[in-house]
Amino acid sequence: MTWVNTLTGPNTTTFQMPTIQVQPVGFALGARVTGVDLSKMLTSDEVQQIKAAWTKHLVLVFPGQQLDPATLTAFTTHFGELDNYDSQPFNRHPEHDHVMLLSNKPVNGKLPAGAYNGQNWHTDLSYTVRPAKATMVYCIEKPSVGGDTMFANMYAAYEALSPKMREFLDDLEAVNDVSLISARRDPAILEAFKRLNPPVVHPAVRIHPESGKPALYVNDRVRTFVGMSDLESKPIIKFLCEHSVQPRFVYRHRWEVRDLVLWDNRCLTHLAVGDYDPKEIRHMIRTSTMGDHYGRLENPQAAEASLKAAAATSQEVAAGVSALHD
């Protein structure tokens, strides 16, 4: 859309203003968005254009942005309630509770807890009762090669299944287990994750509240299906995970410094590819918004213990307990 001054008169000049441009970068999903400065206050029209593109393309890439934790947080609020990362406080930015560090850049001589986050296929915070809606990651430093992020369209993965399989999955619930996050974790961090986040139940297929379309909601962090044994569940989970990340469903983003990438966790999965030299810096910051779906604890009796663990762990982190960062 181009804005043109429509006033008329002898002293009137006609002018045009820059507009948002959206260019697809992948067939399955993904688009590049230019013509907008996300560090500035956006108009309601700009926000609506971005949201419409997000609903359509699922992943939006905003190149060449100049952001810091404050401006990134401000932009994120257009997409809902900010997540303060109580589910993983050891990954927080040291000065901003609503910002997560995704970085292998040492802090006070130690490797940050989020150095190797996301190195299996997942949707953000599916191991919580209120998984993330929008996630935004801003690239500050990148390795010379590698360190990409891959995204898979779970609408398309669901639609490609047989009618009989879709019917089977439509009434199924899945247990999402934080212990299945990627293996490159310090044992103390993993134990803290498990205390804070007991297993939760979500539908195997979610209906997107805005598009109205069904999306597969099964990934590498699903342990079993409700009402089925682990032995019965595992081959189905394995099939669905392999099916959903076929190249035809995937967009691979090759990061550039100052890229801001926004994605919709309700209808895709993603993977941080660990194919880079760990001696090189991959430094990014992340925000996310609270989701519009509520799951339930697999074991409701664990709720009180989980809240107590969350409070205790948050206090430990605030005090700088080294065991969570070594």
CA neighbor of 251 nearest in space, from 149, 155, 161: 149
The percent of the chain in helix, strand and coil, each rounded to the nearest 5, is 30, 25, 45
The enclosing domain of 299 has a CATH number of 3.60.130.10
14 occurs within a structural domain: no
Q: Give the integer Cα–Cα distance in Å for 95 and 162.
A: 49
Grade residue 173 by pLDDT with cuts at 50, 70 and 90: very high
Give the model's pLDDT for residue 301.
77
The answer to the question of residue 12 being in a domain is: no
Q: For the residues 274-284, what does the mean pLDDT come to?
A: 95
pTM beyond 0.85, yes or no: yes
Spatial contact of 36 and 23, defined as CB atoms under 8 Å apart: no
Q: Is residue 74 part of a domain?
A: yes
d(C-alpha 128, C-alpha 2), whole Å: 42
Residue 9 inside a domain? The answer is no
pLDDT in tens, 184-235: 667 777 888 888 899 999 999 999 999 999 999 999 999 999 999 999 999 9
Within a domain: 160: yes
The band of 175, judged by pLDDT with boundaries at 50, 70 and 90, is: very high
- Whether 113 maps to a domain, the answer reads yes
Q: Is residue 3 part of a domain?
A: no
Average pLDDT, the chain: 88
- Domain range for 98 is 22-324
Whether 47 is in a domain gets the answer: yes
Domain count, the chain: 1
- In whole angstroms, give the CA distance from residue 298 to residue 201: 6
